[in-house]
Structures are given as structure tokens and as C-alpha cells.
């Protein structure tokens, strides 16, 4: 009897299956700088994380290079140093890892010089250790910071395909109009 009831429920309400569409492979479902996601139906908007929290680490491979971005509610400082076969990025002004920011990012399968991004709390700040696919590509990235339309502060770290810094895109008057 229970099985019959369960089958009837599943057959009679296909809306459940339509609402839960899985993301296709390669489709990014994370934070997009400057874009605020509207709250899901029936739920309240998420409260922003407290000051001093690194709320997101994002990665994007594009044009043969890659960009990492770090998101927080308040400004923070970024410094870089090469340590052996890795680039160590120190973030001061943030001391807590929020949400899933403690997880590493595996970038081996993208067409980029980066291999792995590992965040961890270090003293009064956050340290991000970036590994490269080839030792010859180890180098500092180009840094750009901005407070975006969503109210969050972002630090962008850009790399060309060979691991050398790329120019961070400059804001144009057309961008300001959007």
C-alpha cells in the first residue's frame, strides 16, 4: 500500500522533478562578482557574513589564462610571494574562512597554468597557496581590487596562460554606465 501511495505521489507531481534540474557539466553555480542572487522562493535573503570573513574564493579560466577572486564584506590587503614551486597569497584584514572557503580548488582540468588553490587560516590572516602545473610558470599574478555593485569587496588575481601576470581589465566609461 505504501509503495502504491509513493508511486502515485511521484507520478502525480512532476513539478518536483522539473524544479530540481542538475547543473550541466562545466556550468558554474557559484558567486559571480557584482551579482546578488535573489532569495529562493519562500526563503529570506541571506545575511551577509561578519566583517573579517573571507566569504568566497572563485576561479575562472578564460582566454588561455585564469582569474582567482576573493570576496569579503569589507576591504582587505593582498600580498604575494613565491615559495618554491608555489605562489603564496596572504590576505590581511580577513581572519575567518566562511562557508566553503576552507575547501581547496582543483584547477588541473582547465586550460590554465594553475593546478590547485589551497586556503587556510594563518595567524591573523588567511593564506592561499597556489600550485602550478609547471614549475617554470610559477609567478605572481596581477592584482586588482574593487567594491562591486553587490556591496562586496573583491580582490582579483589574474594570470596569463604561461603563469606570467596579465593586465587586469581597466574600467571603461561604458562599464560605468551599465
pLDDT, tens digit (0-9, with 9 covering 90-100), for 122-147: 999 999 999 999 999 999 999 999 99
pLDDT exceeds 60 at position 60: yes
pLDDT, tens digit (0-9, with 9 covering 90-100), for 93-115: 999 999 889 999 999 988 899 99
pLDDT, tens digit (0-9, with 9 covering 90-100), for 10-56: 444 444 344 445 555 555 556 677 777 676 777 777 788 899 999 99
CB contact set of 161 (below 8 Å; sequence gap of 6+): 64, 65, 111, 112, 113
Could you give the C-alpha distances from 116 to 38, 76, 103, 113, in angstroms and in order? 31, 23, 11, 10
Alpha helices in the chain (DSSP H): 2-12, 15-19, 173-177
- What's the CATH class of domain 50-167? mainly beta
Global model pTM greater than 0.85: no
| Cα diameter, the chain | 67
**What is the structure's pLDDT at 18?**
42
Amino acid at each position: 500500500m505504501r509503495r502504491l501511495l509513493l508511486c502515485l505521489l511521484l507520478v502525480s507531481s512532476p513539478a518536483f522533478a522539473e524544479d530540481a534540474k542538475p547543473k550541466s557539466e562545466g556550468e558554474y553555480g557559484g558567486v559571480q562578482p557584482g551579482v546578488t542572487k535573489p532569495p529562493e522562493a519562500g526563503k529570506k535573503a541571506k545575511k551577509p557574513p561578519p566583517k573579517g570573513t573571507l566569504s568566497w574564493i572563485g576561479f575562472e579560466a578564460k582566454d588561455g589564462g585564469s582569474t582567482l577572486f576573493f570576496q569579503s564584506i569589507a576591504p582587505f590587503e593582498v600580498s604575494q610571494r613565491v615559495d618554491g614551486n608555489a605562489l603564496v597569497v596572504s590576505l590581511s584584514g580577513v581572519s575567518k574562512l566562511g562557508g566553503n572557503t576552507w575547501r581547496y580548488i582543483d584547477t588541473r582540468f582547465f586550460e590554465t597554468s594553475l593546478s590547485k588553490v589551497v586556503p587556510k587560516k594563518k595567524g591573523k590572516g588567511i593564506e592561499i597557496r597556489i600550485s602550478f602545473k609547471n614549475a617554470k610558470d610559477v609567478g605572481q599574478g596581477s592584482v586588482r581590487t574593487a567594491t562591486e555593485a553587490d556591496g562586496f569587496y573583491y580582490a582579483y588575481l589574474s594570470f596569463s596562460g604561461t603563469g606570467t601576470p596579465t593586465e587586469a581589465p581597466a574600467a571603461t566609461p561604458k562599464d560605468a554606465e551599465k
